Structure 1
């Protein structure tokens, strides 16, 4: 994750900035150590690495909250959620927001969730084709996302689909491997 970018988005005071750098440095060193230990165990699969990183980033967010105001906490939460490793689909919060904002009926909710699950499964199933190649992974993500959009366009009314696109634009990065 690019914590310099987050720092700019947070618009920190001088005092906050000093504490921010201490926290970032601590967690970056801790993650490096944890990853080294994981590698030493021989159980350093991508899944295990992502699991370890996700826990570390979540804990880091919790520690950062101690120096942030309410608005900054929201920005930090969204940033960390956005760039969380191993996440290829829209957040649960966004999916719930789509369901609520689009006022989906029970049949639409069921189909919407099934379409999203199919997207995630297809992307994960093609993992061996792009493992380690972010450009190819992004190509697959975009291809499967277009298929998802096509299916949702049939499920939603024109107005609902336009709202869906508007809502999901804020999380269009997931799976596109734009994080550092």
Structure 2
């Protein structure tokens, strides 16, 4: 399978409704809520507040920089930057919280942060390994996954604030993602792929 074919698959998947996305500020994670769920010492509380404020400020800076792009706001890039900030925050927080507290903190952040609308890296690795995909097959899975994320994000201003409509768009783009993958994988590999991703469904926007 050559690169031209892979690019053709990407183009086919990304022939989606493209709209301008001006963006708006998200509510964000309520870290005060987390502090009611655990007991922190005064020193821990001080460091906890400093770290969370630092990364909330950095996230807001990233958002404002992306928003300044106007109709060209790159929500994919913004999502990647936010993932990186959460990882960095976790590393700093591990110096403040003990093991059990840190486990609860990571779980709280994971449950309350907005995820990128895509197969994450752990799931992609499962797909590649368990479905025994060739390198070319896996390239198409990645390309279709990237196109899905871009298409769903590009339609943000259409469904913003309406979870029912967001679900419709998610399912539409997911069907296109799977169609592109089905056209490339062998029947056996696609059957295994479907089994692995069967639990992946739309989750309401936070």
TM-score (norm 1): 0.59
Q: If you compute each CA radius of gyration, which structure gives the higher value, 1 or 2?
A: 2
The one-character-per-residue Cα deviations of 1:126-179 (angstroms, maximum 9, x if unpaired) are 34433x43523343123212332344455334234212325xx3xx46xx4533
176, 198, 203: which is aligned to 1:165?
Answer: 198
Unmatched 5+ residue regions in structure 2? 1-27
**Contact 1:122 1:144 survives alignment (8 Å):** yes
More helix by share: 1
| 1:2 Cα deviation after fit | 4.4
Greater relative contact order (CA < 8 Å, ≥ 6 in sequence) = 2
Alignment partners' CA distance in 2, 1:37 and 1:30: 10
Alignment partners' CA distance in 1, 2:59 and 2:193: 44
Unmatched 5+ residue regions in structure 1? none
Following TM superposition, the consecutive aligned residue runs of length 4 or more in structure 1 with deviations greater than 6 angstroms are none
**Contact 1:88 1:120 survives alignment (8 Å):** yes
Alignment partners' CA distance in 2, 1:53 and 1:35: 11
Moved more, 141-150 or 17-26: 17-26
The one-character-per-residue Cα deviations of 1:11-55 (angstroms, maximum 9, x if unpaired) are 85x34898368625752486369748976xx83866589469715
User: RMSD in angstroms over aligned alpha carbons?
Assistant: 4.7
State the secondary structure of the residue aligned to 2:133.
coil
Alignment partners' CA distance in 2, 1:93 and 1:16: 35
Partner in structure 1 of residue 161 of structure 2? 133
**Contact 2:62 2:78 survives alignment (8 Å):** no
Partner in structure 1 of residue 205 of structure 2? 178
Alignment partners' CA distance in 1, 2:102 and 2:136: 38
Alignment partners' CA distance in 2, 1:111 and 1:102: 14
Cα separation, partners in 2 of 1:34 and 1:97, compared to 1, 3 Å: closer
